[in-house]
């Protein structure tokens, strides 16, 4: 959404740096967002309710770590009960 705001402001003749300041982010964050989400369009940047969507890679990595920790804990418990 903020990337689009910068595009609109630039389309109205505002210099890029001023448009970036207008949305209250640093240049570094703007260019990082532009690299990551630049070609996706607004539907990929936001959920149906307008909130930002968590990148699926980070979400998958987090779930993988949770499952790995749970399995290790479970195996430790089951192994301690073996005769």
Higher pLDDT, 70 or 81: 70
The angle, 0 to 180 degrees and rounded to 10, between the axes of the packed helices 2-11 and 27-37 is: 100
What is the C-alpha separation between 30 and 19, in angstroms, rounded?
Answer: 10
Co-location of 2 and 40 in the same domain:
yes
Co-location of 36 and 69 in the same domain:
no
Residue 52 β-bridge partners: 46
Co-location of 10 and 24 in the same domain:
yes
- Number of compact structural domains in the chain: 2
Domain span at 81: 54-83
Co-location of 31 and 16 in the same domain:
yes
For 16-27, the pLDDT digits (tens) are 999 999 999 999
Co-location of 58 and 42 in the same domain:
no
For 25-67, the pLDDT digits (tens) are 999 999 888 888 876 655 544 544 555 555 666 778 888 999 9
Does the structure show a pLDDT above 50 at 71?
A: yes
Co-location of 31 and 45 in the same domain:
yes
- The model's pTM is 0.45
Higher pLDDT, 42 or 6: 6
Co-location of 37 and 66 in the same domain:
no
Higher pLDDT, 49 or 7: 7
Co-location of 39 and 62 in the same domain:
no
């Amino acid at each position: 959404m903020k990337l689009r705001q910068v595009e609109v402001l630039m389309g109205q003749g505002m210099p890029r740096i001023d448009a970036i300041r207008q949305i209250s982010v640093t240049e570094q964050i703007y260019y990082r967002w532009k690299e990551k989400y630049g070609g996706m369009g607004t539907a990929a940047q936001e959920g149906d309710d307008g909130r930002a969507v968590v990148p699926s890679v980070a979400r998958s990595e987090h779930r993988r770590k949770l499952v790995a920790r749970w399995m290790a804990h479970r195996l430790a418990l089951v192994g301690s009960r073996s005769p």
